[in-house]
Structure 1
Amino acid sequence: MIWDRLNTHKMVASIKEPKQIEIALSLRNQLSGVFLLTGHIGVIQGYVNLFRSHQVPVFLHLEKIGGLCSDYHGLDYLHKVIKPTGIITTKTNVVKTAMKMGLFTIQRFFLMDTEGLDNIAKSLAQIEPDIIEVMPARIPEMIGEIKNITALPIISGGLLAEREHTLACLKHGAAAVSTSRTELWRDTYAIDENKIRIIV
């Protein structure tokens, strides 16, 4: 389901606090999915169930969820009990384990300097997640450089403040953009003859 939504919806809601959940649900028909970066082991099941009941792909950022261990047993519990659409992690070894279990994986990379490109290439040489997320989104021209390394879909996020930042990422080849800025979740994007525009 996430692949279909990525083709038609270009915005991923990064949820950093519980009050954003209701907003994301109200805009669910124009989001490709949600990234949960809030909660703990005691409440995360309810969050996941809520999004699943509305057919919204939901991904858990493992390093942001309190009490959720990313070792084999933690991932096994996540896969069999919590049942998100998939996970987000910065750790290559976690991607490897999660993929063996059949979990959909998104690996997050940070581009701090040119060595960041080498790190992406080295990591992807070991294991390829389903999607990669690249941060920060304010260097959209680097998306093209990453596309020279891999054919995997790229989601770009971090430091987005306005529509133009989102458009720049999409124009440089990002499959979608992730942000916690709820005002940007409301925008709908269309691609016509390889041109991207905002539908107001």
Structure 2
Amino acid sequence: MSKEQTSAVKQPYVKKSLTSTRTRASISTLLERLETYRNVASIRDVRQLETALEHKDRLSCVFLLTGSIGVIKGYVDLFRKHEIPVFVHVEKIGGLSYDQPGLDYLANAIKPDGIITTKIQVVKKAQKLGLLTIQRFFLIDSEGLDNIAQSLDQAQPDVIEIMPARIPEVLGKVRTMTELPIISGGLLTERRHAKECLKYGATAVSSSSTSMWKEAFNLTHV
């Protein structure tokens, strides 16, 4: 499909262009990896760090959902050394504030590729600092689904994460709302769960189950 044809497709929300060249380049790399590997390691325990590295050739990126302000830079540096995009969930890191000073410190001292957050204002602040942004949504009822389009228009994240993954048919509805990459995660422990998510429109899946990290979810093997 040509660019002209693509732009003619009606979408309730389309990600607006950013001015930061650093961010655009990082987005390009992330999108390529999401579409190639389709598998994200969501790390909830420090003991999972080495396991994620063992499967680095199958992973699009890693999400850090564990640690504290005293150790998180070491975790980030570990994955950056291996050229694996790394995202910090700012609401999960002990001692790390997600107000403006906290985000300044994250961007300038810890230096992840980006953040994960549920909060619109945090997305906006992080983008101004050149960080990639993944906005996480928990769909527990129809109201949550209805609010996605409005939230995306306000926050304009780079990627969205839809949870839980065990409602794959809802991903089809979310896909009609946005052209953004969609990661689906939560309660995802088996390959068949991932296949369902990818079938219904997810770009990639995320899981804290280490057995999922060794799976191949490229387009030819879904």
Give the TM-score band, short-chain normalised.
Answer: over 0.9
- 1:159-200 deviations in Å (ceiling 9; x for gaps): 1121100000011110100000000111012314xxx52xxx
The separation in 2 between residues aligned to 1:133 and 1:168, in whole angstroms, is 16
Task: Give the TM-score of the pair, scaled to structure 1.
Answer: 0.95
1:33 aligns with 2:61: yes
What's the counterpart of residue 153 of structure 2? 125
The one of the two structures with greater contact order (alpha-carbon pairs below 8 A, sep at least 6) is: 2
Q: How does 1:17-166 map to 2 (within 5 A)?
A: 17-166=45-194
Task: Extract unaligned runs of 5+ from structure 2.
Answer: 1-28
The separation in 2 between residues aligned to 1:111 and 1:54, in whole angstroms, is 34
The separation in 1 between residues aligned to 2:58 and 2:212, in whole angstroms, is 11
- 1:24-46 deviations in Å (ceiling 9; x for gaps): 00100110010000000000010
- 1:67-105 deviations in Å (ceiling 9; x for gaps): 110011111111111000100000001001111111100
Q: What RMSD in Å do the two structures reach over aligned CA positions?
A: 0.9
1:7 aligns with 2:51: no
Give the secondary structure class of the aligned counterpart of 2:134.
Answer: strand
Q: Provide runs of 4+ in structure 1 moved above 4 Å.
A: none
The separation in 2 between residues aligned to 1:73 and 1:33, in whole angstroms, is 26
The separation in 1 between residues aligned to 2:189 and 2:35, in whole angstroms, is 23
The separation in 2 between residues aligned to 1:145 and 1:91, in whole angstroms, is 22
Cα drift, residue 139 of structure 1: 0.4
Q: Which residue identity does 2:213 align to in structure 1?
A: W
Task: Give the TM-score of the pair, scaled to structure 2.
Answer: 0.86
Q: Kindly indicate whether the alpha-carbon contact (under 8 Å) linking 2:40 and 2:59 is maintained by their aligned counterparts in 1.
A: yes
The separation in 2 between residues aligned to 1:3 and 1:125, in whole angstroms, is 20
Task: Extract unaligned runs of 5+ from structure 1.
Answer: none
Q: Kindly indicate whether the alpha-carbon contact (under 8 Å) linking 2:31 and 2:181 is maintained by their aligned counterparts in 1.
A: no
Aligned length: 194
Relative to total residues, which structure has the larger strand share, 1 or 2? Answer: 1
The separation in 2 between residues aligned to 1:54 and 1:179, in whole angstroms, is 20
- Identity among equivalent pairs (%): 60
Which of 148, 151, 173 lines up with 2:201 in the alignment?
A: 173
